[in-house]
Structures are given as structure tokens and as C-alpha cells.
Chain A
Amino acid sequence: DSGVTQTPKHLITATGQRVTLRCSPRSGDLSVYWYQQSLDQGLQFLIQYYNGEERAKGNILERFSAQQFPDLHSELNLSSLELGDSALYFCASSVALLAGGDNEQFFGPGTRLTVL
């Protein structure tokens, strides 16, 4: 158990809908990362937050947005869903923002999103 929790575990929805995925980081971790993993794309970095502020963006679509709240939990919002958005969505957390300390990322169990 990494200490990172994600809800829900599974989500089935229809095209055009909007969903929210939730992540609680490990106690003491200030950075939260979101990743998308599909069979043909591997693990793709979406976005990172550090202590409530956005710090890095990867291949995140404009239909997707995220935020980190004062209690450090994070939510990933996916809107106007398409079939191709079906994937595993992982959240990870780490203590530090930059290298020089322990900034390895600890991953949650993921949310499996199925868009029908």
C-alpha cells in the first residue's frame, strides 16, 4: 500500500459526459501528479500540483482540468468525454518539488475509466 488513495476505482460513463476523479496524497506529500495510462500510449504525464499551485503540464487536453485543494487532495475533471479517453488514470504524490531530496513518486491504485 503506497498511502495514496484514489476514488472511484471504476467509472463507466457515456460520451459527452463529465466526470471527476479524486486523489488523496500520502501524509506529508505536497506534490500531486496525474497520469493517463492506455494500452497503446503507456504512462502519460498530465499535470502536477505542488502545495495548491500548478507546477508542470504534460500532455493534458483542454477538456481536462485539475486542482489541488488546501487539504492537498486533488481532483481531475474530465469533460466532453470521448471513447478514446477510456484508460487508467493514476495519481501519484511525492514530498519534494525538485530533485536533491526524496522526490520519487508513489502511485495510487488508479481509476479505470470506461467511456461507452
Chain B
Amino acid sequence: EDQVTQSPEALRLQEGESSSLNCSYTVSGLRGLFWYRQDPGKGPEFLFTLYSAGEEKEKERLKATLTKKESFLHITAPKPEDSATYLCAVQAKNTGGFKTIFGAGTRLFVKA
């Protein structure tokens, strides 16, 4: 069964304390892996797309990496405004098209 698991469920950091979020997946026919940021009560905001193992993308304090079984979202020197839920999603082949499976997310809290 296709599955996406994110860990940890919640992460509390001090401002400037770097860390990583994990997204492990088990899908057949992976087409792409996506990272989103979601603030409370709002729609997810697109961050990165990764298509193949070894690929890396960076944006400000965030860096996403991909292996054959998992992806990491590295946060360098986080600030309080980075507090949000970070969602990982994979697109996999499905009958007639493809399907998108989201992980449950990691809630990040950054304290000043």
C-alpha cells in the first residue's frame, strides 16, 4: 500500500537551532515529491518539487533532499516566522493518471 510518513510529528526549536524534518515513502511509480508549508487555517503553500534521488533544492533557510526512500527538509538557523506545519506529498502512478498522497505533517515551533 502506498504510504507517506513524516517525522517527527512536532518539533520545537530555539531560534537559530538548525534541524531536519523527515518524509519516508513507500509508493510504486513515483513521479515526484513535494514539500509544502501550511499555516493554521490556510491552504498549503508550495515550497519544492523533487523528481529523482540525489536531487536537492534550496530556498532561503530551507533545503530539500531526496533519496530512493525518503526526503529531508533541512532548516538552517530558523526564525520564529518559520513556525508552521510542513507537509510532504508524493505523486504516484494510478489508474488513468496519478494520485497525490500527503503525509500527516510536522508541526514546527520556533521560539525567539
Contact = CB atoms under 8 A, between A and B. Distances in A.
B interface, by DSSP: helix, strand, loop or mixed? strand
Given A2-B45, A90-B43, A104-B34, A42 B102 contact: yes
A115 B2 CA distance: 31
A23 to B, nearest CB: 11
Interface residues of B, number: 26
B96 A42 contact: no
Given A42-B104, A42-B105, A45-B99, A2 B43 contact: yes
A81 to B, nearest CB: 21
A56 B42 contact: no
B34 to A, nearest CB: 6
B43 A55 contact: no
Interface string A49-81: 010000110100000000000000000000000
B87 interface: yes
Contact of A97 (B43, B89, B97): B97
Contacts of B34: 104-105
A45 B99 CA distance: 8
B46 A105 contact: yes
Interface of A: 2, 4, 33, 35, 42-45, 48, 50, 55-56, 58, 88, 90, 92, 97-99, 102-110, 112
Interface of B: 31-32, 34, 36, 41-46, 49, 51, 87, 89, 91, 94, 96-105
